[in-house]
């Protein structure tokens, strides 16, 4: 692969690396997409399920977004003063998202999550960030993971991790750091729904302790509901971060929240500025995308198609007696197919064989299912037929005890999210 000579890891995004796929079976580069389908450089066609890891919520090359961007291109993309579209998109977000009183834009999810932590520190004059979930590559987030090489120890001492759906683990952080916690930063939903009013209790605890509550809605925003998981669960954070799903794949993110906190950015000593934030092409894409989600049946469609895939998959696993080995977890808008070995650990070989069988039948299977508005009934039905064939092969291999020898290339690896227990 030529890319390996000039690009470390041959990727810009961990989960897209060639090593995340069954090598020599999976394509390494995709060059075209339309609706729910993509084509590799050799012209092979696949039904796409990771959908670029979530951003492509309407479908590749979706006409309303393409046309909005094409119109904007005629007029230019970057200017020396803000483009008026920034106001329109901010207003759309304020209208759609419960906690949004004011909005700033960035380019990546981590711009928003890292700025949220900074604003919380500025607002509270405290340093510790209590965090759960994946929020991006910056030091503040990776300090709390095994990928902390290159991160100063001092940064690590101010990042404390807690577990999703485990309120005691958050209480412990407050007990150990009295009066020091600036923010609780959490993904509102992972592959499990919260139980025992977890989100309400996090909301309450943060308020009692004088810390800000930040929802990282990079993945849940515009997907579980127009107003994100905060609308779906009816729990309002102080600040929320958005990126995937807001512009159908164009590079834009947003931080939205309480006016008094957001207005800190008007101070001379609280700094956030990026040359490309507010670039007009992505704002045009965001406007077209959010309007489509508002006006059409997008969110219901994602739930419906996703639930059909989850139920269909779990039925097929049961049919082959493999429910202990593999399950599809999560909810319609985002689910993940997991493979386990007999002691409950993740089974990369089983996943790799299933992936191989799906790829050979034209399904781009990574385990993640992030359906788009373009995944129609016929495609979902076809996908389940392919899953049945792949499951038959896996069942046969488990019986014969020869999964590894059926692989036509090195097995798929694991991502940081998978290693941190988030399995995506």
Interface with ligand PMP (CB under 6 A): 53, 108-110, 113, 133-136, 187, 216, 218-219, 243
Least Cβ distance, residue 135 to ligand PMP (angstroms)? 5
3-state secondary structure of 239: strand
Q: What does the alpha-carbon distance between residue 321 and residue 365 come to, in Å, rounded to a whole number?
A: 21
In the complex, least distance from residue 227 CB atom to ligand PMP, rounded to whole angstroms: 17
Q: State the Cα–Cα distance between residues 242 and 112, nearest whole angstrom.
A: 7
Through-space distance between the first and last CA atoms of the chain, rounded to whole angstroms: 25
| C-beta of 162 vs 325, nearer to ligand PMP | 162
How would you write 128-187 as a 3-class SS string? EEEEECCCCCCHHHHCCCCCCCCCCHHHHCCEEECCCCCHHHHHHHHHHCCCCEEEEEEC
Q: What SS3 class is residue 241?
A: strand
Nearest CB to ligand PMP, comparing residues 229 and 317 = 229
Q: Smallest distance from the beta carbon of 111 to ligand PMP, in angstroms? A: 7
Axis crossing angle, helix 298-319 with helix 280-295, rounded to the nearest 10: 70
CB-nearer residue toward ligand PMP: 164 or 174: 164
Residue of this chain nearest to ligand PMP (CB atom): 109
Shortest reach from residue 286's CB to ligand PMP, in Å:
14
Q: Measured from the CB atom, is 13 or 166 closer to ligand PMP?
A: 13
In the complex, least distance from residue 108 CB atom to ligand PMP, rounded to whole angstroms: 3
Token readout for 300 is: 């219901």
- Least gap, CB of 42 to ligand PMP (angstroms): 28
The strand pair at 102-106 and 45-48 is best described as unpaired
Can you tell me the distance from the alpha carbon of 419 to that of 27, in angstroms, rounded to the nearest whole number? 24
Q: How far is the CB of 297 from ligand PMP (least distance, A)?
A: 25
- Residue nearer to ligand PMP on the CB measure, 286 or 394: 286
CA atoms within 13 A on the CB side of 358: 25
By beta-carbon proximity to ligand PMP, the closer residue of 133 and 278 is 133
> Least Å distance between CB 335 and ligand PMP?
15
Determine phi and psi for 391, rounding to 5 degrees.
-65, -35
State which residue, 18 or 188, has the beta carbon closest to ligand PMP. Answer: 188
Smallest CA-to-CA distance from 274 within 39, 111, 81, 411 is with: 111
362 or 413, CB closer to ligand PMP?
Answer: 413
Measured in degrees and rounded to the nearest 5, phi and psi for residue 319 equal -55, -40
């Amino acid at each position: 692969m030529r890319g390996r000579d000039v690009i470390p890891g041959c990727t810009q995004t961990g989960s897209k690396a060639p090593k995340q796929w069954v090598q020599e079976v999976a394509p390494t580069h995709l060059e075209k997409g339309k609706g729910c389908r993509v084509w590799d450089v050799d012209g092979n066609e696949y039904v796409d399920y990771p959908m670029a890891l979530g951003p492509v919520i309407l479908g590749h090359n979706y006409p309303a977004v393409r046309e909005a961007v094409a119109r904007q291109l005629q007029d230019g993309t970057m200017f020396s003063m803000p483009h008026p579209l920034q106001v329109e998109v901010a207003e759309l977000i304020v209208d759609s998202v419960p906690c949004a009183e004011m909005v700033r834009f960035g380019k990546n999810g981590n711009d928003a999550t890292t700025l949220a932590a900074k604003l919380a520190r500025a607002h509270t004059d405290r340093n510790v960030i209590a965090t759960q979930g994946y929020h991006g590559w910056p030091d503040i987030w990776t300090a709390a993971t095994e990928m902390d090489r290159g991160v100063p120890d001092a940064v690590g001492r101010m990042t404390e991790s807690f577990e999703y759906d485990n309120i005691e683990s958050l209480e412990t952080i407050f007990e150990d750091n009295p009066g020091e916690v600036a923010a609780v930063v959490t993904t509102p939903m992972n592959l499990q729904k919260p139980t025992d009013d977890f989100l309400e209790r996090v909301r309450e605890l943060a308020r009692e302790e004088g810390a800000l509550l930040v929802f990282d809605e990079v993945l849940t925003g515009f997907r579980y509901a127009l107003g994100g998981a905060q609308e779906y669960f009816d729990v309002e954070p102080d600040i929320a971060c958005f990126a995937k799903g807001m512009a159908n794949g164009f590079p834009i993110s947003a931080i939205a929240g309480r006016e008094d906190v957001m207005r800190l950015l008007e101070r001379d000593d609280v700094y956030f500025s990026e040359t490309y934030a507010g670039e007009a092409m992505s704002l045009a894409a965001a406007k077209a995308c959010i309007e489509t989600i508002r006006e059409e049946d997008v969110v219901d469609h994602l739930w419906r198609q996703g639930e059909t895939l989850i139920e269909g998959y779990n039925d097929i696993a049961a049919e082959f007696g493999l429910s202990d080995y593999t399950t599809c977890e999560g909810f319609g808008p985002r689910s993940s197919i997991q493979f386990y070995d007999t002691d409950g650990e993740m089974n990369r070989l089983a996943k790799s064989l299933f992936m191989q069988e799906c790829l050979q039948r034209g399904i781009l299977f990574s385990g993640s299912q992030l359906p788009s508005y373009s995944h129609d009934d016929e495609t979902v039905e076809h996908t389940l037929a392919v899953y049945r064939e792949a499951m038959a092969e896996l069942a046969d291999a488990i019986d014969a005890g020869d999964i590894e020898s059926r692989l036509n290339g090195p097995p798929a690896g694991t991502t940081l999210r998978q290693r941190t227990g988030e399995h995506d």
